[in-house]
């Protein structure tokens, strides 16, 4: 189940945190820490970029 959570720093309405599950959230934090990535958003982007590059290289523009 996907949940949306607001913490005190998010009460300005500009950002809502997405939590799939607390266990998965913790795994993301641990993996990000092991890879010296400072926030989960960057870790998620990196995971998606790697997946898309490996599984769907035709979607990645040639640079």
Alpha helices (H) in the chain, listed in sequence order: 22-34, 40-55
Distance CA 29, CA 12 (A): 24
pLDDT at 54: 92
Distance CA 60, CA 4 (A): 30
Q: Select the more confidently predicted residue: 7 or 31.
A: 31
Query: Using one digit for the tens of pLDDT, what is the confidence trace for 9-56?
Result: 545 555 556 666 788 888 888 888 888 888 778 788 888 889 999 999
Distance CA 52, CA 1 (A): 24
8 Å CB contact between 60 and 52:
yes
Predicted TM-score (pTM) above 0.75 = no
8 Å CB contact between 40 and 51:
no
């Amino acid at each position: 189940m996907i949940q949306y959570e607001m913490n005190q720093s998010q009460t300005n309405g500009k950002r809502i945190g997405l939590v799939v599950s607390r266990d998965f959230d913790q795994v993301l934090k641990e993996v990000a820490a092991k890879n010296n990535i400072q926030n989960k958003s960057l870790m998620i982007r990196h995971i998606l970029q790697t997946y898309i590059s490996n599984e769907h290289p035709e979607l990645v523009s040639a640079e």
